[in-house]
Amino acid sequence: MRECIFHFKVIRGGSTKLLRALIMLDGERQPTIADFTNAFQQLGYRVKLENERELIFAPTNGEDYKLDVTRIEIKGEDNEQMQHDGELKAIVEHLVRTTW
């Protein structure tokens, strides 16, 4: 079993809360969208994927908030992988766009 710790923002109105959650992964399996939605559901957020590229989730029950996954860390026995870093990705994409 490996730990997948993901950091996310709860964006509601003008306020933002930074939280994190844990998903346990078997073997070399990578987290899926269903893993994220199930983890959110356990935290009381009933959501669906709104933006796959940015990993942004929106509520299914008409509430007004967004969940934005900002970083994913997978910790195994001998290795640790950084899978998604939204801020780093945005900086790199900006640099790539400005150099073309």
SS3 assignment, position 35: helix
pLDDT at site 40: 97
Task: Please give the DSSP secondary-structure letter assigned to residue 46.
Answer: -
pLDDT at site 39: 97
pLDDT class of 88 with cuts at 50, 70, 90: low
pLDDT at site 11: 97
Pairing of strands 15-25, 80-85: unpaired
pLDDT at site 100: 43
Cβ count near 87 (within 10 Å): 9
Question: For the chain, which residues make up each domain, given as ranges?
Answer: 2-76+84-98
Give pLDDT tens digits for 17-57.
Answer: 999 999 999 988 899 999 999 999 999 999 999 999 999 99
User: Is 26 in contact with 1 (CB distance < 8 Å)?
Assistant: yes
